[in-house]
Amino acid sequence: MTTTVRDGLRQEVLEANLAIPQVGLATLTWGNVSGIDREAGLFVIKPSGVPYEDLTLDHLVTVRLSDGAVVGGDLRPSTDTETHRCLYLAFPSIGGVTHTHSTHAVAFAQARRDIPVLGTTHADTFNGPIPCTPDLTPEQCATDYEYNTGRVIVDMLREDDGKAAEVPAALVANHGPFTWGPTARKSLEHAIICEAVADIALRTLALIPSGPPPRHLLDRHYTRKHGPDAYYGNPEMATSAMSSIGELPSTRRSAST
């Protein structure tokens, strides 16, 4: 069985992890990104507790999707690895997962509230509220806690891969946001947007309790960016809004260079 992933995946995961503090999503080491090679049945993730400023390609950990076994790397993987693995197993369309403890999204998670759709900024990316899970039970915390953290997200979404694609984010109650996308980089982009709309929502709710805008307006904003009739942007000019983030000096590529 192979223990190597496709070319470029490790570099993408490294760059996405290094961008977490760059875009203000983490304090200390509070965040991680992974990316998956589904053909190989492996995913790559940040090691546990390694400061971002020290992180290199050599530190990344490769994990087997089927059973969670570490098959590459000398360090322990992120403690959230089993949550990432649960999401990958449940939703075949996703290629990357990001978890952070960003301030405003965590505030909603700790209040155990969905992030409501209060305007078009939210609707541009998320086709509905960003949902918050129920509390984990004592049994879920006592055994296989990290896998069960993913399980409550999956159960909340009812294993609906289409819904996971339309709202590529969830809040784990009392914990924080997990976001995903077709690539590691895209999952990080969704984490950035999740935090931004959480911040905007908190400011809006502080001004006035607000109901949702008209559904037709929200639908218009979502469908102009997503689906067969999308017309936003110029794909030939840039593949991602993240294209300007995480372009790293070659010295970060390995611990030995």
Q: Is 67 a catalytic residue?
A: no
Catalytic residue among 54, 160, 219, 232: 232
Q: Is 160 a catalytic residue?
A: no
176-181 sheet: strands from edge to edge: 70-72, 61-64, 42-45, 31-37, 96-100, 176-181, 169-172
Separation CA 116–CA 246 (nearest Å): 30
Separation CA 23–CA 43 (nearest Å): 24
Closest to 153 in 3D by CA, of 143, 5, 236, 140:
140
Catalytic residue among 124, 135, 144, 199: 124
Catalytic residues: 124, 232
